[in-house]
Structure formats: structure tokens, C-alpha cells
Amino acid sequence: MSYSVRLFAYEDVSELEKRRAEKRFCAALNEALGDASLVLPVYSMYRKLVAVYGESPSADVLSTEELEIFNQWQAAESAALTAALGPHRYMGEAEFDIRA
């Protein structure tokens, strides 16, 4: 894998449960984006777009390519959080860190 993920959640879980959740998170990101090698480039571009346009930019301020990257990452992130933490968990409670 070309990247690592660290999840931060507000509830107490064992290290084993945390590592399993991180693996599910990575697997879902890889599947949603098509390959592990795409995770860092797409995430990096997404973070740049957020820095420039904010967390919820209007679709008319983004180019077609930027909008595609923005939407792809948000869908992948949502899938990864659901895979890692479950579908009924409030997604705002968990945070993650992705590194090379």
C-alpha cells in the first residue's frame, strides 16, 4: 500500500478493533477510487481544492475536472467511513489522517 491511515474516534476501542477498522477504511478507499495508487493524489488534490474553495464550494466555481475530483473524494471518504465504522454511526464523530 502506498499510504497509511490512522483513525481517531471518540469511543474507546481496542487496538485490534482500530487496526481492523483502518484496514476496512483503506480497502473501501481503494475500491472507490479504483486503486491504492490513486488515494494520495486524489486526496492531495481534494485538500488543495478545499483550501481554495472551502468545504462546500458551489459547483459553478469548480472546473469540470475539479468537480469530479471533489465528488470522487467525498464519495470515497463516505464509503470508507461507513466500511470502517458502520452505516449507522454519525460520521462527524470520526477523523482520519492519511500519509505516504
CA 27 to CA 29: how far, in whole Å? Answer: 6
Cα–Cα distances in Å, from 41 out to 63, 73, 91?
18, 10, 23
Q: 12 phi and psi, to 5 degrees?
A: -75, 125
Q: Whole-structure pTM over 0.85, yes or no?
A: yes
pLDDT confidence of residue 89: 64
Query: pLDDT tens track of the chain, all 100 residues?
Result: 589 999 887 667 788 988 999 999 999 999 999 999 999 999 999 999 999 999 999 989 999 999 999 999 999 999 999 999 887 665 456 789 999 9
Query: Where along the chain do its domains lie?
Result: 4-99
CA 65 to CA 48: how far, in whole Å? Answer: 13
* Locus of grid cell 486524489: 42
Q: 41 phi and psi, to 5 degrees?
A: -65, -40
Residue 46, C-alpha cell as written in the block: 481534494
